[in-house]
């Protein structure tokens, strides 16, 4: 027998003692996988729009994410240029093929050098577009693919994430509904990254330090329109 057959046979033997009929067990599993019942959603994950955005901002800032709001997509490149200047960073950034980002007037800021594609580790700054956010924990949700390559989330020192106000959800469960709508039931993009603040470590004497292996800073731009 292979490891697989032996392990499964052992499990079935141990579990047979529970007295539940095999057909009932199978039905219970099939039903849960099909219905994906939601559990307890904390009250703070169920706020109306304005309070939800306020909570998101508060939670994100509490984990050292900086947050700003702009009125429209067209305002993003100027906000990015301003941020890089403020922080004395090179006016150079990397983005993927995301349609929202591509439609922004980057050329209106000629000083900004925009590179495209996945990161090779030499980029100081990357800009990604999140599919949504979670107010409950101040979390941004990013998915892999050409639009927003996963390497952009981890290699640059500064990660700027653009998110539409309308996609700031209260709870994590709302994100799963969105993903099922986009990718189909029980299907996932290759990677879903949930990001709550810049990278950190407390492995040396429990002292919290930012910028362990991933970005040293995380900046969120909420687009109102």
Partner 1 sequence: MRMQSPRFKQNAREALEDAQLQRALTNVEHGFIGKRQMAADALPEFEALRDNAKAIKDHTLAHLDLYLEAYEEKVTASGGHVHWAQTAEDARAIILDICRKADAKIVTKGKSIVSEEIGLNEHLTENGIQPVETDLGEYIIQLRGEPPSHIIAPAVHVNKSEVETEFRRAHTHLDPDRNLEEPTTLLNEARAVLRQKYFDAEVGITGANFLVAETGSSVIVTNEGNGDLTQTLARVHIVLATLEKITPTLEDVSQILRVLARSATGQDSSVYTTFSTGPRRPDDPDGPEEYHVVLLDNGRSDMLGTEYQEMLRCIRCGACMNHCPVYHAIGGHAYGWVYPGPMGAVLTPSLTSIDEAGNLPNASTFCGRCESVCPMRIPLPKMMRHWREREFERHLQPASARFGLGAWAFLARRPALYRTLFGLAIRTLGAVAGKKGRFASLPLAGGWTKYRDLPAPEGRTFQQMWADRGGQTERKDAA
Binding to partner 1 in span 3-42, by CB under 8 A: 3-4, 6-8, 10-12, 14-15, 17-18, 20, 25-26, 28-29, 32-33, 36-40, 42
Asked whether 186 and 154 are in contact (CB, 8 A), the reply is no
The span from the CA of 42 to the CA of 109, in Å, is: 43
Q: Which residues of 66-82 are buried (b: 16+ CB within 10 A; e: fewer)?
A: ebeebeebebbbbbbbe
The span from the CA of 27 to the CA of 23, in Å, is: 6
Of residues 173, 203, 178, the one with CA closest to residue 189: 178
The span from the CA of 162 to the CA of 149, in Å, is: 14
- Near partner 1 by CB under 8 A, which window of 77-85, 86-94, 162-170, 181-189? 181-189
In angstroms, the Cα distances linking 37 to 23, 34, 170 are 21, 9, 17
> Which of 77, 96, 156, 170 is the binder for partner 1 (CB under 8 A)?
96
Q: Which is nearer to partner 1, 44 or 165 (CB)?
A: 44
47 near partner 1, judged by CB under 8 A: no
54 near partner 1, judged by CB under 8 A: no
> Which of 144, 164, 165, 178 is the binder for partner 1 (CB under 8 A)?
144
Residue that is written with structure tokens 């529970």 in the block: 18
Asked whether 198 and 211 are in contact (CB, 8 A), the reply is yes
Binding mask 99-138 vs partner 1 (x if CB under 8 A, - otherwise)? ------------------xx--x--------------xxx
Q: Which is nearer to partner 1, 74 or 176 (CB)?
A: 176
Q: Which is nearer to partner 1, 218 or 221 (CB)?
A: 218
> Which of 199, 217, 220, 222 is the binder for partner 1 (CB under 8 A)?
199
């Amino acid at each position: 027998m292979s490891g697989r057959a032996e392990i499964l046979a052992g499990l079935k033997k141990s579990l047979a003692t529970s007295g539940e009929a095999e057909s009932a067990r199978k039905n219970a599993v099939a039903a849960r996988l099909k219905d994906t019942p939601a559990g307890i959603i904390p009250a703070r994950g169920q706020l109306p729009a304005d309070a939800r955005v306020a909570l998101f901002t508060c939670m994100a800032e509490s984990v050292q994410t900086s947050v700003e709001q702009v009125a429209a997509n067209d305002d993003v490149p100027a906000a990015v240029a301003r941020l890089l200047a403020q922080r004395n960073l090179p006016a150079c950034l990397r983005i993927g093929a995301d349609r929202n980002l591509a439609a922004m007037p980057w050329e209106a800021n000629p000083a900004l050098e925009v590179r495209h594609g996945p990161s090779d580790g030499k980029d100081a700054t990357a800009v990604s577009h999140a599919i949504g956010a979670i107010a409950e924990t101040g979390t941004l949700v990013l998915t892999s693919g050409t639009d927003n390559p996963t390497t952009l989330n981890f290699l640059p020192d500064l990660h700027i994430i653009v998110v539409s106000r309308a996609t700031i959800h209260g709870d994590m469960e709302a994100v799963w509904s969105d993903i099922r709508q986009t990718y189909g039931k029980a299907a996932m993009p290759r990677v879903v990254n949930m990001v709550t603040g810049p990278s950190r470590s407390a492995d040396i004497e429990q002292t919290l330090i930012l910028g362990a292996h991933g970005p040293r800073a995380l900046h969120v731009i909420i687009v109102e329109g």
